[in-house]
A and B are shown apart, each in its own frame.
Chain A
Amino acid sequence: MPHAARAENVIMEFPSGAERLRVLHGVSLDIPFGAMTFLVGPSGSGKTTMLSSLSGTLSPTSGAVEVMGERLDQMHDGALVRFRRRRIGFIFQQYNLIGTLTAAENAAIPLIADGVKSDAAIDAAKAVLGDLGLADHAWKLPRQLSGGQQQRVAIARALVHKPALIVCDEPTAALDAEAGQAVMRLLEDAAKSPDRAVLVVTHDDRIYRFADRILQIEDGRLINTDASMNQEPRHAH
């Protein structure tokens, strides 16, 4: 399996009044293992739609989307939900933690949703939180944590079920520069591994230096698959 994820000639259209608005115009790309791939572009360029396609949360109008060798565009809804639950980790811009659950319970959600017993799932979540430096915060509610800590809980939730692909939607957009850099360092340390791929959608150029590879998208078309984007050398941080 050469790539963790691959998109082939993906077209995405949405209804817009009586017409259909084409957001992606036949995008083809691949996401390699063991690397952090950044998908960058201005607002409205289609990068989030591409992320949604690659993570199986949105079916393309046409084209092929393959993750871990499985065609997501051909899966029925139930299989797609199971696939996402077991093989993909999600990190969202606004963290999207459940306010009434503790950090450990939030991080345990993918395991509990997959049928793992609550105690075992929370133990596993606590272990990951410990790896991310949040051992002492496992029983705190999200509102008791800083933005950076909440995003670390979100990272724990994305890692707890050991997914093969992690997708991050603007993971630093809600953080200040320092917290954003810290989260990216943590993400790089915890998420990057030879049997895992990390896809980051962002327009925050302060974190481009964490990218192993940058794909640039504009107006629904991939315009650069090896952009340097003025990224600093990887050993700079």
Chain B
Amino acid sequence: MPDGRDPLGQTAEINDNRVTIAGETRALTTFAGLPIVYMKYTDAISITPPERNKLSFVLVGAREGVSPVELAQRIESATGLRALTREQFARAGVDFIINNTGIPLSFGIAIGLGVVVAVVITALTLAMFITENLRNFGALKAIGVTNRQILQMVMAQAWLVGFIGYGLGIGGTAAFIFFGRNDPSLQGFSLHWQVVAGAALAVFIIVTASAFFSVRRVLKMDPAIVFRG
């Protein structure tokens, strides 16, 4: 309960009907954040407002030794209704969100903007570093440090900085998920290995490309620049 009381035995109001809380469960938060109430179907029918179809799906448990795929096929052939396994149902939910909502576009735009900002900031930071140290690079080239060695040096620094930034970012994300795991409003977040690997690849590409384009100026630079006032 919001005031910290034990919910068991408390009375709540749903659509002008009083209900008594008989138990609680730790359910995943729905996408829209609405609460989930478990009750008998007949009770649910009686307290929900009238609408054409009140039954979205029926959960079915398979007996031990019965394959969910086989069970779903049997239900479909027996009832003519669509039956899905847990995995198929989850996939169908994801597909629905992708195909019928603006969420992928919104998320895509946010991620795209993030990438653009990351590229611009990384490239500008590296370009500033190069510009500020132009004479030192000129000195190194005059001394006899090769372009290849300078490229290796700049790349090593860029990768190190990128690795630290990536570690902080992924670490922060993981920490957010870990420490929020008991907060009902934060449940449902997960960090898949594909996200970790994808982010690493994106950071690597952004840092490498930015460093390369920034250091091109040094590679083409005349070492005699170090002597100019």
Q: Which 7 A-B pairs have the closest CB atoms?
A: A85-B144, A96-B139, A52-B224, A57-B224, A58-B224, A84-B144, A57-B223
Chain B residue numbers with a CB within 8 Å of A52 are: 224, 227
**Once bound together, how far apart are the Cα atoms of A88 and B136, in whole Å?**
17
Can you name the residue of chain B whose Cβ is closest to the Cβ of A89? B143
Q: Are A57 and B227 in contact (CB under 8 A)?
A: yes
Q: Which residues in chain A, 27-53, are within 8 Å of chain B measured between CB atoms?
A: 43, 48, 51-52
**Once bound together, how far apart are the Cα atoms of A140 and B142, in whole Å?**
24
Stretch from A108-116, A126-134, A210-218 at the B interface: A108-116
- Is B88 at the interface (CB under 8 A from chain A)? no
Q: Are B222 and A109 in contact (CB under 8 A)?
A: no
Q: Are B222 and A90 in contact (CB under 8 A)?
A: no
Q: Which residues in chain B, 131-161, are within 8 Å of chain A measured between CB atoms?
A: 135-136, 138-146, 149
Q: Which residues in chain B, 78-98, are within 8 Å of chain A measured between CB atoms?
A: none
**Once bound together, how far apart are the Cα atoms of A90 and B138, in whole Å?**
12
- Is A81 at the interface (CB under 8 A from chain B)? yes
Q: Are B144 and A157 in contact (CB under 8 A)?
A: no
- Is A206 at the interface (CB under 8 A from chain B)? no
Q: Are B142 and A55 in contact (CB under 8 A)?
A: yes
Q: List 28 A-B contacts (CB under 8 A).
A: A52-B224, A55-B142, A57-B141, A57-B142, A57-B222, A57-B226, A78-B146, A84-B142, A84-B143, A84-B144, A86-B144, A88-B144, A90-B142, A92-B142, A92-B227, A93-B229, A94-B135, A96-B135, A96-B136, A96-B138, A96-B139, A97-B136, A98-B136, A98-B140, A109-B140, A109-B143, A113-B143, A114-B144
Q: Tally A-B pairs: CB < 8 A.
A: 64
**Once bound together, how far apart are the Cα atoms of A81 and B146, in whole Å?**
7
Chain B residue numbers with a CB within 8 Å of A114 are: 144
Q: Main secondary structure on chain B at its contact with chain A?
A: helix
A-contact bits for B52-69, CB 8 A (1 contact / 0 none): 000000000000000000
- Is B228 at the interface (CB under 8 A from chain A)? yes
**Once bound together, how far apart are the Cα atoms of A226 and B135, in whole Å?**
33
| A residues lining the B interface (CB < 8 Å) | 43, 48, 51-52, 55, 57-58, 78, 81-86, 88, 90, 92-94, 96-98, 109-110, 113-114, 157, 169
Q: Are B222 and A58 in contact (CB under 8 A)?
A: yes
Chain B residue numbers with a CB within 8 Å of A93 are: 227, 229
Chain A residue numbers with a CB within 8 Å of B227 are: 48, 51-52, 57, 92-93, 169
Chain B residue numbers with a CB within 8 Å of A51 are: 227
Q: A58-B222, A94-B135, A98-B136 are in contact. Are A82 and B144 (CB under 8 A)?
A: yes
Chain A residue numbers with a CB within 8 Å of B149 are: 113
- A100 CB to nearest chain B CB (Å): 9
**Once bound together, how far apart are the Cα atoms of A86 and B143, in whole Å?**
9
**Once bound together, how far apart are the Cα atoms of A123 and B136, in whole Å?**
23
**Once bound together, how far apart are the Cα atoms of A33 and B28, in whole Å?**
84
Chain A residue numbers with a CB within 8 Å of B226 are: 57, 92, 96, 169
- B218 CB to nearest chain A CB (Å): 14
**Once bound together, how far apart are the Cα atoms of A55 and B143, in whole Å?**
10
